[in-house]
Amino acid sequence: MTPMEIEALSLSLQVAAWAVIASVPLAVPVAWVLARRSFPGKTLLDGIVHLPLVLPPVVTGYVLLVVLGRNGAVGSALESIGLTFAFDWKGAAVASAVMSFPLLVRAARISMEAVDPALEAAASTLGAGPARIFLRVTLPLSLPGVLAGSILAFARSLGEFGATITFVSNIPGQTRTLPLAIYTLTQVPGGDAGAMRLCAISIAVSLLALLGSELLGRRLTERLGRASP
């Protein structure tokens, strides 16, 4: 691999890791709310959460550019304190987090819905409050699903292209992630070999992520089966 290819792979891993780290603290509570609470506007919230799955990625990237760009209402305020997202790797992490967020929420929600409510009710009768029930019962039983969703989100972040190139452009060493590097190599003479190498790496990582997610899903089913009365 050339230094440019190694640089793109390293940046992609960094961006994907931070995208998942930033998403999990918000995705888990949102998944719990969707799985365990009924309230007006729940359908709307569910639609907003899953909107990045159906919107063209370019639209998502443009919205991020308008909001978090240097001239945006939020972006200009953040830049005044030295925090810049547009045309920076941190912006690539934000774009990847937004695009992969629905996958993480969905996996966590399905896992939490599979937890027997009777177990939570039993903990409640023993004096446990909602927070303790969530931390001691719901979350541990749904953790394999959360981890599986995190792996899928990581893999999705590695493959993010449209929102990333729209929001942070294709800057070597700054925002040129794996998909952008593949795109760049296909546009230059003699870049086919490098593009094929990076495609092979992308396929391998994606397969590993899918296998890991499947194994964790099976583990979740086994754990819930043992926990059921």
- Report, as ranges of residue numbers, the positions in the chain whose pLDDT lies below 50: none
Please tell me the predicted confidence (pLDDT) of residue 227: 53
The CB density around residue 150, as the number of other CB atoms within 10 Å, is 25
**Alpha-carbon distance 194 to 85, whole Å?**
29
Tokens for 214, please give them.
């499947």
Residue labelled with tokens 């045309």: 87
Which pLDDT score, from 0 to 100, does residue 139 have? 86
Cβ atoms of 68 and 91 closer than 8 Å = yes
Return the pLDDT at 131.
84
Q: Report the alpha-carbon angle 144-96-84, nearest 5.
A: 130
Here the tokens at position 68 are 């978090």
| Three-class DSSP labels, 190-203 | CCHHHHHHHHHHHH
Which residue ranges form the domains of the chain, and what is each CATH number?
3-227 (1.10.3720.10)
What per-residue confidence (pLDDT) applies to 224? 58
Give the model's pLDDT for residue 190. 84
pLDDT of residue 210: 79
**What pLDDT does 17 receive?**
92
Does residue 138 contact residue 112 with C-beta atoms inside 8 Å? yes
pLDDT at 117: 84
- Chain Cα centroid distance, residue 117: 27
* Model pLDDT, residue 194: 85
Give me the pLDDT at residue 217, please.
67
Contacts of 98 (CB under 8 A, 6+ apart): 52, 60, 64, 163
Name the pTM for this structure: 0.86
